[in-house]
Amino acid sequence: MSTEKPPLPAPRLGEPYLLTPGPLTTAYEVKQAMLRDWGSWDDDFRAMTRELRSRLLALVGTGADANDCVPIQGSGSYCVEAMLGSFVPKDGKVLVLANGAYGLRAAQTMEYLGRAFTLINKGDYLPPRGAEVAQALADDPAITHVLAIHCETSSGILNPVEEIAEATRAAGRKLLIDSMSAFGAVELDAGKLGYTAMVSSANKCIEGVPGFGFVIARKDEIEAARGNSHSLSLDVHAQWATMEKTGQWRFTPPTHVVAAFIEALKAHEAEGGVEGRGARYTENRDVMVAGMRGLGFETLLADRWLSPIIVTFFCPADPKFEFARFYELMKAQGFIIYPGKLTVVDSFRVGCIGQMDAHVMRKVVEAARAALKDMGVESAAPPAEALEERKKLAA
Ligand SMILES: *Cc1c(COP(=O)(O)O)cnc(C)c1O
C-alpha cells in the first residue's frame, strides 16, 4: 500500500457527492472561478481560450504537434455530432462499434445526418474486438471511418481501443473516438493510436462543470473537413478557422464554464496529469469494488474490463432489495448513485470520478452496508441469471 494521502476536502456547500459520471463533484475552487463575468471578445477571455486549447492538446501525448483542439458549445453529444458531421464526408461511410447506449446514440446521430453507416452491435456490454473490426472492414470497402467508444459509460467497460486502432490502421481507414468519459484519466495517445479525431467534454475526467465539449483532431483532417458539415453551429472546421483567426468562439461561449474549466485543468496538472488522475480513480474503484464485494455485491464485468470511471453492480436477488429505496437511503447519507442500463437483469452503477478519494469510497461502502441493513437485506448476492449473464464475458 502506498502512503495514505490526506483526504480531499468534502463539498463545502454541504451538497451530496455525485457518484455519477458527469456532472460530477467539482472542487470548490472550480465553482468559485465562476463568480465573475467575462466579455467574450475581450483579450482576457481570448487568452483563456488559448490556454484551454493548449492545455488540452498537451494531454494527447505524442502527436500533439500534428493535432489541434477545437472547443464546441453544448454537451458531449453535440461534440460527437460535430465530429461525425465534420470529419465524415457526405459520401463517406462509418462503421459504428456499439456495446451500450453511447454507441447506439452515435448510430442514431448517423441516421439524423443521413450519412451511410453500418453497425456492429454487441448488446449491453460485450466489447467489439480487433478481429471483428478487421473482418467488417475487409467485407465492406465502402467504409471510410470507424467510430469507437473508449469507455462505454452505460456499463463502465473500457473498450479495447488499441486493438480497434490497429485493425483500422491496417485496413487503411480512419478512426474517430468518443472518449467522453475516459479522456484525462486514461491514456489516449494521438501518435500511437493515430486517430483522426476524438471528443470529450468539460464535465467528466477533467472535473469541470457542464457546458461545452471539445474535439482534438489532426490539423490536416480539420483543414480537409471544410464544407463537410451538415450544421452551421456544429461545423468543426468553421469553429476552428474562426478561433485561429480571431481567438474567439464563433457564437456566445460559455464564459463561466470556461473559467471553471481552466481552474480544473490546473488542478489536473497539479495532480500529475492523466497518470495522476488515473491513479486516484483507479484507487477509488479498487477500494469501492473490494468493499462492495465484501457486502456480497457482484460486478457485471470481470476485473480486466473494469474501467476506473464507473462500475456496474447487479441488484441483489433478495426480494427485500428495492433500487428506489436503496437510492434514497444512499442519498440520505450524502451519496447520489446511478441506475443501471442493462436490458437483461437489474443493476445499478457507482461512479469513481470527480473530487473523491479512497476515504470517500470507504464511506460509500459503509453507506451501502447501512442501507442494506435498513431494508432488511441479508445478502447482496445477485440472482442466478445475473451470474449466467456474466459468464458470457468471463471467457
Ligand atoms: C457523457 C457521455 C457522452 C455525452 O453525453 P452528454 O449527455 O451529451 O454530455 C457521450 N459518450 C459517452 C461515452 C459519455 O460518457
Q: Domains plus CATH for the chain? A: 17-24+273-394 (3.90.1150.10), 29-269 (3.40.640.10)
Q: Answer whether 153 contacts ligand 1 (Cβ < 6 A).
A: yes
The confidence band for 393, taking pLDDT boundaries of 50, 70 and 90, is: confident
Residues facing residue 94 across a β-bridge: 117, 145
Q: Is the predicted pLDDT of residue 62 greater than 90, yes or no?
A: yes
Q: What mean pLDDT do residues 72-82 have?
A: 98
User: Ligand 1 centre from 246 Cα, in Å?
Assistant: 29
Q: Is the predicted pLDDT of residue 3 greater than 70, yes or no?
A: no
Question: Which helix or strand (DSSP H or E) is residue 338 part of?
Answer: strand 338-339
Among protein residues, the one whose CA lies closest to atom 4 of ligand 1: 76
- 46 annotated binding-site participant: no
User: Ligand 1 centre from 384 Cα, in Å?
Assistant: 32
Q: What share of the chain is helix, strand, coil (3-state, %, to 5)?
A: 45, 15, 40
The confidence band for 6, taking pLDDT boundaries of 50, 70 and 90, is: confident
Q: Is the predicted pLDDT of residue 277 greater than 80, yes or no?
A: yes
Q: Which of 201, 309, 349 to mutate to test the pocket of ligand 1 (most atoms within 8 A of CB)?
A: 201
Q: Answer whether 180 contacts ligand 1 (Cβ < 6 A).
A: yes
The confidence band for 394, taking pLDDT boundaries of 50, 70 and 90, is: low
129-140 per-position pLDDT tens digit: 999 999 999 999
Q: For the residues of 89-157, what is the DSSP string, one character each?
A: -TT-EEEEEESSHHHHHHHHHHHHHT-EEEEEE-TTTPPP-HHHHHHHHHH-TT--EEEEESEETTTTE
- Residues 6 or more apart in contact with residue 65 via CB below 8 angstroms: none
Q: Answer whether 73 contacts ligand 1 (Cβ < 6 A).
A: no
148-161 per-position pLDDT tens digit: 999 999 999 999 99
Q: What is the pLDDT of residue 344?
A: 86
Sheet holding 310-314, edge to edge: 310-314, 347-351, 338-339
Angle at 375 between CA 372 and CA 381, to 5 degrees: 45
Contact 77, 93 (CB under 8 A): no
Q: What is the pLDDT of residue 284?
A: 98
User: Ligand 1 centre from 52 Cα, in Å?
Assistant: 20
Q: Answer whether 77 contacts ligand 1 (Cβ < 6 A).
A: yes
Contact 210, 202 (CB under 8 A): yes
> Ligand 1: which atom is nearest the Cα of residue 149?
13
Coil, helix or strand at residue 55: helix
Cα separation, 181 vs 174, in Å, equals 21
Q: Is the predicted pLDDT of residue 87 greater than 60, yes or no?
A: yes
Q: Is the predicted pLDDT of residue 395 greater than 70, yes or no?
A: no
Q: What is the pLDDT of residue 185?
A: 98
User: Ligand 1 centre from 29 Cα, in Å?
Assistant: 24
Q: Which of 18, 79, 102 to mutate to test the pocket of ligand 1 (most atoms within 8 A of CB)?
A: 102
167-198 per-position pLDDT tens digit: 999 999 999 999 999 999 999 999 999 999 99
User: Ligand 1 centre from 204 Cα, in Å?
Assistant: 9
The confidence band for 392, taking pLDDT boundaries of 50, 70 and 90, is: confident
| Total-model pTM | 0.97
Q: Is the predicted pLDDT of residue 224 greater than 70, yes or no?
A: yes
